[in-house]
């Protein structure tokens, strides 16, 4: 109060006096007043405490004499301008401090308290009578800001490194470039990356930066293995390396390394290598730094592990696809061989059938000559034998004719088109007696199908002929033909009857003309009240030369249903039968609708 | 109210003198060569300023505000758009771009504003031979409207604003700032009168 009274105007109110007293004693910032010659007029308690100088010691002294560095730091003009009425702000970023006061933190490098200061004129009426300095200690704020800033930069570095490693398809190739940046950002001058197994000691140098060329060879065999604790997967910090006189530190000492962080790289309990960041300029590495590079090491290990997994996966994929290509080739080759064999067999059947037909016809002819021209000369037994020969050769001719028909069905081209079924049935029936025609009922509608006209005609001819033929003796045939729309491969028939599907041995050309699974299909039924077929025979009746009956009562070659099955197969359709002995038969055909 | 061509010239020259001092002070402070472009000067009605400035400054601005008093009264405000303020801080202090203006950065912007404003207003005072005193600068980060509203409300008689638009150049970067000096009617007349006297003195 004694000091302040000197600058308090006589007219000052008690309240103003109290305020000045507070500033003097308790204010949490420094307040200094100077007269027109910049001599110290007041110096508050805060100043006394932080400068360790009592007001009495410096009272009346010129501020520039007290703090000569104000001149050196070109700060005098602020005071001169304040005397002209100007107020100024001095930021800590641009000046660090106004008055050199000791730092509240001993560890601060600078040794000075960081300050924000205001220099303002003091007015007496309209005239400037002095200068006031207000000084704020921002050391702690700056230190916190710096920590935050450092943290921010490290976070950025971590994010950047992570992004680089995640975005990279081949992290191993980018390590060098990546770690040059990391080392630079973290104030390390050296980095080394080894790949391999740390516990097994099989490490290979992948990349390094910062090692003087003449010492590089010393790092090919990882020198850190000798100084690492055994079986350790944790990061290890080596400080004051230059003072270690043990031989295992020799390589590091020679290369000028003062301190280093060594991070074994591992993922899923698998050792992947070793990462090292080092410096020749600092004797120790702070825990923050080693934590940071350890995190980077973990990122790298994860990226390497991911890379290994990807490579394994790619290799497996390649192998799988090579294997599948091989299988495809084999299937193609075998299919081709099979088709060739089928084609040869069909040619053989055709040739045999064709060549057998003439001798059979000849035999029949000679039998007829014998029976007609030499009937009177032949004993009755001989006549009977010739009759048998004629009958047998007739049968042989029938067989060869049907066999030729069958091979023709297999060999002929079968382009598909829209076929109306009803006219086709009518045409077939026109070859029969009116009595037979009357036995057949066509239940409309018969849906149109995608088929080959000639083949479909053969199919219906065979089915209708069978229905007419296979009736109990003395019974008139009764046949109903009708159709329905079904989804492809309707299950009810799959389970109950034999199918001849084109998938069994269809050629690729036929496969392409097949309809898609979503297409509607037409199922046509040919139903009779004939003798029926035993369940166990359902399977074989569609095979060539297979007959359900052994009785001579019903003549036939056993090729008709084989032709039906083969023709359906050629058209991409299916067929089957539902029947029981003595209860009639229901043959069905399934073809794509149009 | 419009400035005549000669008044505009005189004001521009006067402010240019102040700017030279500011540029020198900033160069000294940072050790980098800093130049300030020849400013453009105009006088506007205060309600018009907001609209005019909004066309060139979008979003928040850093405003450094100093009230001055004496024969000429008013409020001097330096406006920098937020991005420019951040860039200026980074250039001056060599700190990498922070995401926001922290305490230290705010002080730097305040000090720069203080230097420029002091230089301008000091030049007025020196050359016009009048004593003007200023308050300690105050930094606000607000939208242009809010900054201007806070001024117009506090000073009823302040009607006109002298707007000085300038650009700082430093290390090939461009930091633009608006210096708005808001003056009362009588003060403006006084300023123009003093300006006239200064011209006459210079010519003689």
Q: In this structure, which long-range contacts are made by residues A67-74, counting pairs with CB atoms below 8 Å and at least 24 apart in sequence?
A: A67/A99, A67/A100, A69/A100, A70/A98, A70/A99, A74/B28
Q: Is B107 within 8 Å of A89 (Cβ atoms)?
A: yes
CB contact under 8 A, A89 and B131: no
CB proximity B4 to A under 8 Å: no
Reported ipTM: the value is 0.79
Residue whose C-alpha is closest to residue A30's, from A16, A5, A50: A50
Phi, psi of A363 (to 5 degrees): -60, -45
Which residues on adjacent β-strands are paired with residue A401?
A: none
Best A31, A81, A85 member to test B by mutation, with max B CBs in 10 Å, is: A85
Residue whose C-alpha is closest to residue B66's, from B7, B127, B125, B129: B125
> What mean pLDDT comes out for the span B2-30?
81
> What mean pLDDT comes out for the span A392-398?
87
A148/chain B closest Cα distance in angstroms: 10
DSSP string, A107-133: T-SS-B--EEEEEEEEEETTEEEEEEE
> What mean pLDDT comes out for the span A211-238?
84
Cα distance between residue A100 and residue A30, in whole Å:
13
CB contact under 8 A, B134 and A85: yes
- Ranked by mean pLDDT, the top range of A272-276, A429-433, B30-34 is A272-276
> What mean pLDDT comes out for the span B68-77?
80
Q: Scan residues 71-90 of B and list those with Cβ closer than 8 Å to A.
A: 89
What 8-state DSSP symbol labels residue A593? B
When pLDDT is cut at 50, 70 and 90, the band that residue A68 belongs to is very high
- The residue behind tokens 């100088």 is A53
When pLDDT is cut at 50, 70 and 90, the band that residue A575 belongs to is very high
Other Cβ atoms less than 10 A from the Cβ of A87: the count is 23
Q: Scan residues 168-187 of B and list those with Cβ closer than 8 Å to A.
A: none
Residue A30 pLDDT: 95
CB contact under 8 A, B118 and A142: no
Q: Is the pLDDT of residue A500 over 60?
A: no
CB contact under 8 A, B118 and A84: no
Radius of gyration of chain A (CA): 55
Q: What is the dihedral sign for C-alpha A500, A501, A507, A513?
A: positive
Domain with B49, as residue range(s), is 5-203
> What mean pLDDT comes out for the span A65-87?
90
Q: Is the pLDDT of residue A452 over 80?
A: yes
Task: State pLDDT tens for residues A120-159.
Answer: 999 888 788 999 999 999 988 888 888 888 888 888 888 8
Cα distance between residue B109 and residue B184, in whole Å:
27
Other Cβ atoms less than 10 A from the Cβ of A488: the count is 15
Cα distance between residue A459 and residue A565, in whole Å:
8
Residue B82 pLDDT: 81
A97/chain B closest Cα distance in angstroms: 12
Kindly report the pTM of this predicted structure: 0.56
CB contact under 8 A, A87 and B132: no
- Ranked by mean pLDDT, the top range of A488-497, A501-510, B156-165 is B156-165
Q: Is the pLDDT of residue B69 over 70?
A: yes
What 8-state DSSP symbol labels residue A6? G
- Ranked by mean pLDDT, the top range of A381-390, A515-524, B48-57, B174-183 is A381-390
> What mean pLDDT comes out for the span A312-322?
94
Q: Is A225 within 8 Å of A216 (Cβ atoms)?
A: no
Nearest C-alpha in A relative to B107? A91
| Number of A–B residue contacts, CB under 8 Å | 76
Q: Is the pLDDT of residue A408 over 50?
A: yes
Nearest C-alpha in B relative to A152? B98
Half-sphere exposure of A75 (CA within 13 A, CB side): 23
> What mean pLDDT comes out for the span A213-238?
84
Best A80, A82, A91, A126 member to test B by mutation, with max B CBs in 10 Å, is: A91
Q: Is the pLDDT of residue B155 over 60?
A: no
Our count of domains for chain B comes to 1
Q: In this structure, which long-range contacts are made by residues A471-476, counting pairs with CB atoms below 8 Å and at least 24 apart in sequence?
A: A471/A528, A471/A529, A471/A530, A471/A531, A472/A530, A472/A531, A473/A553, A475/A529, A476/A435, A476/A439
Q: Is the pLDDT of residue A504 over 70?
A: no
Nearest C-alpha in A relative to B109? A91
Residue A553 pLDDT: 64
Residue A550 pLDDT: 58
Cα distance between residue B163 and residue B41, in whole Å:
6
Cα distance between residue B84 and residue B91, in whole Å:
10
* Percentage with pLDDT > 70 across chain A: 90
Q: Please list, in sequence order, all residues whose beta carbon lies within 8 angstroms of the beta carbon of residue A528, skipping any fewer than 6 positions away.
A: A466, A467, A470, A471, A477, A478, A479, A480, A584, A585
Which residues on adjacent β-strands are paired with residue A33?
A: A42, A132
Q: Is the pLDDT of residue B36 over 80?
A: no
CB proximity A49 to B under 8 Å: no
CB contact under 8 A, B30 and A94: yes
CB contact under 8 A, B111 and A81: no
Q: What is the dihedral sign for C-alpha A165, A166, A171, A177?
A: negative
Q: Is B183 within 8 Å of B161 (Cβ atoms)?
A: yes
- pLDDT, greater one: A576 or B189: A576
Residue A46 pLDDT: 94
Q: Is the pLDDT of residue B156 over 90?
A: no
Residue A137 pLDDT: 93
Residue B98 pLDDT: 55
Residues of B in contact with A126 (CB under 8 A): 70, 131
Q: Is the pLDDT of residue A559 over 80?
A: yes
Name the token pair of B83.
Answer: 């991005």
Residue A403 pLDDT: 82
CB contact under 8 A, A85 and B125: yes
CB proximity A436 to B under 8 Å: no
Q: What is the CATH number of the domain that holds B189?
A: 3.40.1550.10
CB contact under 8 A, A93 and B134: no
Cα distance between residue B29 and residue A95, in whole Å:
8
B5/chain A closest Cα distance in angstroms: 30
> What mean pLDDT comes out for the span A228-256?
85
Residues of B in contact with A93 (CB under 8 A): 89, 92-93, 95, 104-105, 107-108
Residue B171 pLDDT: 64
Task: State pLDDT tens for residues A261-282.
Answer: 999 998 888 889 999 999 999 8
Which CA distances in Å does A439 have to A418, A459, A464, A527, A580? 28, 19, 11, 12, 21
Least CB–CB distance from A85: residue in B25, B102, B133: B133
- Ranked by mean pLDDT, the top range of A30-44, A175-189, A527-541 is A30-44
Q: Is B49 within 8 Å of B161 (Cβ atoms)?
A: yes
Work out the mean pLDDT of chain A and round it to a whole number. Answer: 85
Q: Helix or strand or coil: residue A99?
A: coil
Task: State pLDDT tens for residues A160-180.
Answer: 888 888 888 788 888 888 888
Residues of B in contact with A76 (CB under 8 A): none
Q: Is A464 within 8 Å of A479 (Cβ atoms)?
A: yes
Q: Scan residues 115-154 of A and list those with Cβ closer than 8 Å to B.
A: 116, 118, 120-121, 123, 126, 128, 138, 141-142, 145, 149, 152-153
- Ranked by mean pLDDT, the top range of A239-253, B2-16, B31-45, B53-67 is A239-253
Cα distance between residue A242 and residue B136, in whole Å:
54
Name the token pair of B151.
Answer: 């001024």
Cα distance between residue A260 and residue A263, in whole Å:
10
Residues of A in contact with B103 (CB under 8 A): 138, 141, 145
Residue A474 pLDDT: 85
């Amino acid at each position: 109060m004694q000091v302040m009274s000197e600058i308090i105007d006589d007219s000052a109110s008690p309240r103003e006096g109290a305020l000045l007293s507070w500033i003097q004693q308790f204010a949490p910032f420094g307040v200094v007043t100077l007269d027109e010659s910049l001599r110290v007029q007041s110096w508050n308690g805060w100043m006394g405490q932080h400068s360790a100088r009592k007001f009495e010691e410096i009272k009346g002294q010129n501020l520039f004499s007290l703090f000569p560095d104000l001149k050196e730091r070109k700060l005098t003009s602020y005071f001169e301008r304040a005397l002209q009425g100007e107020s100024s702000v001095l930021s800590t970023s641009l000046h660090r401090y106004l008055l050199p006061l000791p730092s509240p933190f001993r560890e601060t490098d600078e040794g000075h308290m960081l300050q924000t200061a205001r220099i303002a004129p003091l007015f007496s009426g309209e005239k400037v009578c002095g200068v006031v300095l207000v000084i704020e200690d921002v050391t702690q704020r700056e230190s916190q800001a710096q920590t935050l800033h450092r943290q921010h930069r490290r976070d950025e570095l971590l994010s950047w490194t992570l992004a680089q490693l995640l975005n990279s398809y081949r992290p191993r190739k980018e390590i060098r470039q990546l770690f040059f940046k990391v080392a630079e950002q973290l104030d390390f001058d050296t980095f080394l990356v080894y790949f391999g197994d740390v516990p097994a000691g099989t490490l290979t140098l992948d990349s390094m930066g910062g090692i003087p060329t003449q010492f590089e060879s010393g790092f090919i065999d990882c020198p850190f293995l000798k100084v690492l604790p055994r079986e350790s997967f944790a990061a290890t910090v080596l400080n004051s390396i230059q003072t270690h006189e043990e031989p295992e530190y020799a390589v590091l000492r020679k290369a000028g390394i003062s301190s280093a962080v060594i991070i074994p790289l591992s993922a899923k309990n698998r050792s992947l290598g070793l990462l090292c960041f080092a410096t020749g300029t600092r004797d120790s590495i702070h825990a923050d730094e080693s934590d940071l590079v350890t995190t980077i090491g973990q990122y790298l290990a994860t990226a390497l592990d991911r890379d290994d997994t990807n490579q394994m996966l790619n290799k497996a994929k390649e192998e799988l696809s090579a294997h599948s290509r091989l299988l495809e080739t084999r299937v193609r080759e075998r299919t081709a061989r099979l088709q060739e064999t089928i084609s040869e067999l069909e040619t053989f059947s055709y040739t045999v059938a064709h060549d057998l037909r003439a001798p059979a016809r000849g035999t029949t002819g000679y039998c007829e000559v014998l029976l007609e021209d030499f009937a009177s000369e032949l004993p009755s037994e001989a006549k009977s034998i010739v009759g048998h020969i004629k009958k047998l050769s007739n049968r042989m001719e029938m067989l060869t004719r049907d066999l030729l028909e069958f091979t023709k069905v297999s060999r002929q081209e079968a382009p598909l088109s829209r076929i109306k079924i009803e006219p086709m049935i009518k045409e077939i029936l026109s070859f029969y007696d009116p009595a037979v025609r009357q036995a057949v009922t066509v239940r409309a509608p018969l849906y149109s199908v995608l088929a080959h006209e000639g083949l479909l005609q053969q199919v219906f001819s065979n089915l209708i002929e069978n229905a007419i033929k296979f009736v109990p003796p003395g019974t008139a045939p009764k046949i109903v033909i009708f159709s329905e729309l079904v989804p492809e491969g309707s299950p009810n028939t799959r389970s109950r009857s034999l199918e001849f599907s084109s998938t069994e041995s269809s050629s690729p050309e036929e496969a392409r003309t097949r309809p898609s699974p979503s297409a509607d299909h037409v199922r046509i039924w040919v139903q009779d009240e004939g003798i029926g077929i035993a369940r166990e025979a359902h399977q074989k009746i569609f095979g060539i030369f297979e007959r359900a009956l052994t009785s001579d009562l019903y003549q036939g070659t056993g090729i008709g249903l084989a032709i039906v099955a083969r023709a359906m197969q050629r058209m991409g359709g299916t067929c089957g039968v539902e029947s029981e002995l003595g209860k009639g038969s229901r043959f069905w055909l399934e073809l794509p609708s149009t | 109210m419009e400035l005549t061509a000669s008044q505009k010239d005189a004001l521009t020259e006067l402010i240019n003198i102040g700017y030279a001092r500011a540029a020198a002070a900033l160069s000294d402070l940072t050790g980098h060569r800093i130049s300030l472009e020849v400013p453009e000067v105009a006088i506007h009605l205060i309600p018009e300023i907001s609209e005019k400035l909004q066309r060139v400054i979008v979003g928040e601005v850093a405003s450094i505000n100093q009230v001055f008093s004496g024969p000429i009264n008013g409020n001097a405000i330096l406006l920098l758009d937020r991005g420019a303020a951040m860039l200026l801080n980074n250039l001056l202090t060599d700190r990498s771009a922070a995401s926001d203006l922290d305490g230290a950065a705010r002080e730097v912007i305040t000090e720069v504003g203080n230097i420029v404003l002091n230089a301008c207003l000091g030049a007025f005072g020196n050359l016009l031979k009048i004593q003007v005193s200023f308050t300690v600068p105050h930094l606000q980060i607000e939208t242009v409207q809010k900054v201007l509203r806070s001024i117009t409300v506090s000073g009823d008689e302040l009607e006109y604003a002298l707007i000085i638009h300038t650009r700082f150049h430093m290390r090939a970067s461009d930091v633009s700032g608006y210096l708005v000096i808001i003056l009362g009617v009588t003060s403006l007349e006084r300023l123009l009168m003093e300006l006239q006297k200064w011209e006459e003195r210079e010519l003689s």
